[in-house]
Structure 1
Amino acid sequence: MATTIEAYKAELSFSIIWDKIVRYASVGWDTLEEADVQALKWYGVFVRKSTPGYFMIRVRVPGGILEHGRFTAEQLRALADVTRDYGRDTMDLTTRQQVQLRWIRMEDVLTVLEKLNAAGLSTMQTGMDNIRNVTTCPVAGLQADEALDSRQLVKELNDSIVGNWKVANLPRKFNITVLGCCDNCTHAEINDIALTPAKRGDLSGYNVWVGGGLGSWGTQRSLSLDAFVLPEQATEICHGILELFHERGNREKRNKARLKFLIEEMGLLAFRKEVLGRLSFTPLSAGTELTDDHSHRDHIGVHPQKTPGLHYVGLNVVTGRMKLEHVYEVARLAEAYGNGEVRLTTAQNVIIANVPDSKLTELLAEPVLEQLQHDPLPFARGLISCTGNTFCPFAMIETKQRTLELVTYLDQQIGRSVMESIGVLEIHASGCPNSCGNPHTGQIGLIGKKVKVDGQVVEGADIYLGAEHGVHGSFNERWKIAVPFSEMGPLLEGMIRQYIEEREPEEPFRRWCIRNGLIQGELKQFAPMIKDEEHTA
């Protein structure tokens, strides 16, 4: 039996939803029917109960790169213009390389969508039961050591998704990442489909992983489908998986509707057989995985590109929230020092590409780089923070300001010693168990909750420790329950100081946490690694 939401979805189409947006823009937001709140999400328009009368609009930026492989300064400036004219002074970057505009009135939504479309930007299918933004390495096509340039595949996938109603009415949301680099910088392990670089003899292509995800239901690392595909075969196998999910995914229980539950129900071998039976080709079994399990690489800083004499410069946007003056400055810098290309990362940061040697010194001396730093202290650098309860109805705490205060404290107290000894310690924070801030992939993870202190309810979080990078890594595990933010800084400071003092040479944080009984995970074989300065700088 179809649920109420599934019955409602069955009556929708893109044209019907668009007509609803046109009507509500005319008659006003206060006439918005509760059922139609969900429909607007197909065009990236989101009600926010904490800001009645105002909407959030989410903009799709495939792989953080647009327009023939470029997200341009002109497009970034168009986003800032829309926010300035129809919203307020901030713009948010997300962990799926997208942009969120806030404080948009219903009567302005149509105008905003038209202006974004005119700039080559789309908001379609960025919410509800859709394939969310396809992510990829933000420096695809730039790095000399990448295995594959993933940009064309990301474009093909995106073009096959946007406007395709068959994949716009899935049982639940769906995440895809495509990686041509060896760094796993988009966390392949938490995506419903992950394509990672691999070799099969002389062939270069992708290994296929399925069923990863984070949510209030728990965590699941992606599983190998034991399939290797060539770049020209990758879109077809993705759609084979999507077709199966569309047909057999759970449409009766939304908390059991992600792809991972279908795989559990069918069994991985049966799921694989069914997917392969839908293809026009027979994939080879999985090839040699090329992603590394090395330490953190976030693309912040100055890095040489594969083209001699050019660099990309990654800038740290602490908490992922940008003031408009900084957005305009990034657009200006991209045009003045690069070729107008801007890229967005899954760590909520920005990259200016194609900066020649001759302009590098002048770029790094620009005043805005005092706020958007290319060489930040480690805790500000490693921070990911969800929207928080300022706008999100699910979040239990205000995450942006709380985590900013936390990392500022930690950087002041121990930032330099952490940078010198271990490089970066990531803090990933979510305001609720839905895990939009990817808390389980951080070396330190925070999941917000209300905490009672001396009879007063204050903001706090459960603390998780020990995430391990890579498709063969590990999620973090809970260490402390219900810690108020007023106590969190000194608590983490003491624990991290102890790690620095006690660790064996090059001992990973997770292993130290297990060895000292902070978490329960399995103690794996450990061999010290040769320190790679680029990964820890």
Structure 2
Amino acid sequence: MTPTGATAADAAAPNSATNAEAEERRRHREEARLIRTREASARKNSASRDGQWAAGDKTPLNPNEEMKSVGDPLEVRERIENLYSKWGFWSIPPGDLRGRFRWWGLYTQRRQGIDGGKTAILDAHQLDDEYFMLRIRSDGGQLSVAQAREIGKISEEFGRDTADVSDRQNIQLHWIRIEDVPEIFRRVEAVGLFCTEACGDVPRVILGSPVAGIAKDELIDPTPNINEITDKYIGDPQFTNLPRKFKTAITGTPVPDILHEVQDVAFCAVEHPEFGVGYDLWVGGGLSINPHLGIRLGVFVKPEQVSEVWAGVVGIFRDHGYRRLRTRARLKFLVKAWGGEKFLQVLQDDYLGYTLPEGPAPKVGKPGARGDHVGINEQRDGNYFVGVAPVAGRISGTKLQEIANITEAVGSDRIRLTPLQKILVLDIPEPSVNDVVNGLRALELDSNPREFHRNVIACTGIEYCKLAIVETKATAREVVKKLDDIFPTLDTPITVHVNGCPNSCARVQTADIGFKGQLVLDEESGEQVPGYQVHLGGRLGRGDDNDFGRKIRAHKVTQDGMPDYVERVTKNFLADRVGEETFADWAFRAEEELIK
């Protein structure tokens, strides 16, 4: 009997590991053949169609839509627990392995030793290792001591002590075996966390201000709104089949700290002259190969309306989003085609049934203002929080447990992760601040790091990611090690973002210096080597002055030459800047020879 939600090809699980790889390849080819056959029929005379459900076009027009049409992808959990965890990795059919597993935070990780030149050449089953990356949801970046400690234990026991803070405010583990997944799910859920929809074509982890409820300048605590959305809608079948992933961010601070301009939907705290404190609504932001800044709809959302408005925006994406081509299946393409006026009209008329009042825009931060919350900071209640910067988000399960111990020892139960791969310990009594600072420093987590240490972020990279072309974490660490020694007293922030492929998980277009991984020509050897396309001067949080980084035609940097490039450009900036000019402003006006 075919398990619920699986295709006929999915059911053909081998009973042993004998010739497992050959069987996997055969099954992969068969499933691909069946899907191509169905797609060929479905796509006949469909070149002008976009797969919009609202237009009555529900015929699956690509393999991902075909996979989702069979059944709710969340149903795969039953097979994980009752079949695959008992039968082993080679029992998992392709439709589940590379499709539905994502709905439970699981991606196959990259087989070790495969260089970046083969990323776009090898088939999926050749890139797959027999291990998984696991994302654990922590919406708003919120972790209790028990939760942080348990993730650390899971990492140590099941994930070779790996743990990375992602720029979606959650923890990623690696080296996870399918046999261990049910136990991991049990332990994660026992401490009030979950992996539901941590990946997949669903509402992903919600970004929230890491200083929610404690910031001195906070207008409103967004935590109740974040919790209401996750409680009501994560796992709800009405939103488990979106055209692609959907990213949300909510902040209650007057100067947004959740990169609202590059989210599918964002709610930014404002004070309305008539209705009091609520949120300004943004839609349609996103990066990757076709970056698009989100747009203000110019309306005010009351706190009690947030979850309903959120569901309306997600509903528009589900019903009107473009499903035919995965490269156009993000909300930003629909917003760009419709414009804000039409989007707002559809939201109000078809999904809300009421009109949202006009509202003010969020305040704009000063150029160079920091939103990473690193350092020792006083809370509104007189306690303190300490923010530290693990290099490019890399920590470990052991360190995560130690952070939990340090937090607990001073009577706190709140740890926060940030969208910039930082970690905060909250609710520290003033006499205990030095204890926390010294305890974290002993873990190589400094609350007063030098500038490059503080301002580097990096995606997973070729170490584990099947999409990556180049290394990221180690390269970022090399930049920090070299540049902080060269510029120990740098007096201005310079952000460096390192990404392993063109998808911009590390937000290269928004960095002062962003590196997008690709193969480049080494002028000395004449051969293609790992390297980066360079983006310079990305600017967010500046209202009408927001912009993506500047690119110079045909300008590339090799991976080995990247630290030297950052050194050269930094020296040119320091010599050529005018007054308190920021790096981003300088990068847009500088002559090309100064930024090459």
Q: Do the structures match in fold with TM over 0.5?
A: yes
**Is the CA contact (8 Å cut-off) linking 1:181 and 1:291 kept in structure 2?**
no
**Aligned positions of 1:256-271 closer than 5 A:** 256-271=328-343
Answering whether residue 263 of structure 2 is matched by residue 191 of structure 1, we say yes
- 1:361 positional shift: 2.1
Describe the SS at the equivalent of 1:53.
strand
- Kindly provide the amino acid, as one letter, of the partner of residue 31 in structure 1: S
**Is the CA contact (8 Å cut-off) linking 1:130 and 1:168 kept in structure 2?**
yes
Give the whole-Å Cα distance in 2 for the aligned partners of 1:84 and 1:237: 41
In structure 2, the residue matched to 1:336 is: 409
Answering whether residue 217 of structure 2 is matched by residue 145 of structure 1, we say yes
- Kindly provide the amino acid, as one letter, of the partner of residue 445 in structure 1: G
- Kindly provide the amino acid, as one letter, of the partner of residue 136 in structure 2: V
Describe the SS at the equivalent of 1:365.
helix
Describe the SS at the equivalent of 2:406.
helix
In structure 1, the residue matched to 2:93 is: 33
**Is the CA contact (8 Å cut-off) linking 2:407 and 2:436 kept in structure 1?**
no
- Kindly provide the amino acid, as one letter, of the partner of residue 506 in structure 1: E
Give the whole-Å Cα distance in 2 for the aligned partners of 1:451 and 1:483: 7
In structure 1, the residue matched to 2:325 is: 253
In structure 1, the residue matched to 2:23 is: none
In structure 2, the residue matched to 1:412 is: 485
Give the whole-Å Cα distance in 1 for the aligned partners of 2:414 and 2:469: 37
**Is the CA contact (8 Å cut-off) linking 2:386 and 2:437 kept in structure 1?**
no
Q: Identify the range of structure 1 (207-216 vs 468-477) with the bigger mean alpha-carbon deviation.
A: 468-477
Unaligned runs of 5+ in 1: 66-70, 521-537
In structure 2, the residue matched to 1:525 is: none
In structure 2, the residue matched to 1:429 is: 498
Answering whether residue 94 of structure 2 is matched by residue 2 of structure 1, we say no
Instruction: State the Cα RMSD in Å.
Output: 1.8
Give the whole-Å Cα distance in 1 for the aligned partners of 2:485 and 2:566: 13
The verdict on how the C-alpha distance between 1:98 and 1:367 changes in structure 2, with shifts beyond 3 A counting, is: closer
In structure 2, the residue matched to 1:523 is: none
- 1:349 positional shift: 1.3
**Aligned positions of 1:10-49 closer than 5 A:** 10-13=69-72, 16-22=75-81, 23-37=83-97, 38-49=99-110
In structure 2, the residue matched to 1:465 is: 536
Give the whole-Å Cα distance in 2 for the aligned partners of 1:126 and 1:103: 17
In structure 2, the residue matched to 1:227 is: 299
Answering whether residue 244 of structure 2 is matched by residue 172 of structure 1, we say yes
Answering whether residue 316 of structure 2 is matched by residue 316 of structure 1, we say no
Unaligned runs of 5+ in 2: 1-58, 113-128
**Is the CA contact (8 Å cut-off) linking 1:477 and 1:519 kept in structure 2?**
no
The verdict on how the C-alpha distance between 1:15 and 1:123 changes in structure 2, with shifts beyond 3 A counting, is: closer
Normalised by the length of structure 1, the TM-score is 0.91
- Kindly provide the amino acid, as one letter, of the partner of residue 451 in structure 1: V
Normalised by the length of structure 2, the TM-score is 0.82
Q: Identify the range of structure 1 (154-163 vs 137-146) with the bigger mean alpha-carbon deviation.
A: 154-163
Answering whether residue 582 of structure 2 is matched by residue 511 of structure 1, we say no
**Is the CA contact (8 Å cut-off) linking 2:502 and 2:518 kept in structure 1?**
no
Answering whether residue 150 of structure 2 is matched by residue 78 of structure 1, we say yes
Q: Deviations over 1:3-46 (max 9, x none)?
A: 23212202222663122212111211112211112101111121
- 1:196 positional shift: 0.8
Aligned positions, number: 509
The verdict on how the C-alpha distance between 1:444 and 1:365 changes in structure 2, with shifts beyond 3 A counting, is: same
Describe the SS at the equivalent of 2:488.
helix
In structure 2, the residue matched to 1:50 is: 111
Describe the SS at the equivalent of 1:90.
coil
Describe the SS at the equivalent of 1:79.
helix
Describe the SS at the equivalent of 2:395.
strand
Q: Deviations over 1:229-272 (max 9, x none)?
A: 11111111111111111111111111111001112333332221
Describe the SS at the equivalent of 1:156.
helix
Q: Deviations over 1:429-478 (max 9, x none)?
A: 11111011111111111101123320444321111111123162211122
The verdict on how the C-alpha distance between 1:281 and 1:293 changes in structure 2, with shifts beyond 3 A counting, is: farther
- Kindly provide the amino acid, as one letter, of the partner of residue 302 in structure 1: I
Q: Identify the range of structure 1 (474-483 vs 497-506) with the bigger mean alpha-carbon deviation.
A: 474-483
Q: Identify the range of structure 1 (118-127 vs 286-295) with the bigger mean alpha-carbon deviation.
A: 286-295
- Kindly provide the amino acid, as one letter, of the partner of residue 503 in structure 2: N
Q: Deviations over 1:37-80 (max 9, x none)?
A: 21011111211242621111110001001xxxxx2111111011
- Kindly provide the amino acid, as one letter, of the partner of residue 47 in structure 1: T
Give the whole-Å Cα distance in 2 for the aligned partners of 1:234 and 1:361: 39
Q: Identify the range of structure 1 (108-117 vs 481-490) with the bigger mean alpha-carbon deviation.
A: 481-490
Give the whole-Å Cα distance in 2 for the aligned partners of 1:45 and 1:432: 20
**Aligned positions of 1:96-495 closer than 5 A:** 96-202=168-274, 203-216=276-289, 218-277=290-349, 278-294=351-367, 295-308=369-382, 310-366=383-439, 368-369=441-442, 371-416=444-489, 418=490, 421-422=491-492, 424-453=493-522, 454-470=525-541, 472=543, 473-479=546-552, 481-495=555-569
In structure 1, the residue matched to 2:50 is: none
| Larger radius of gyration between Structure 1 and Structure 2 | 2
Describe the SS at the equivalent of 2:551.
strand
Describe the SS at the equivalent of 1:415.
coil
The verdict on how the C-alpha distance between 1:241 and 1:367 changes in structure 2, with shifts beyond 3 A counting, is: closer
- 1:320 positional shift: 0.6
**Is the CA contact (8 Å cut-off) linking 2:133 and 2:175 kept in structure 1?**
yes
Give the whole-Å Cα distance in 1 for the aligned partners of 2:474 and 2:423: 20
Describe the SS at the equivalent of 1:102.
strand
In structure 2, the residue matched to 1:95 is: 167
Give the whole-Å Cα distance in 2 for the aligned partners of 1:156 and 1:110: 27
**Is the CA contact (8 Å cut-off) linking 1:189 and 1:222 kept in structure 2?**
yes
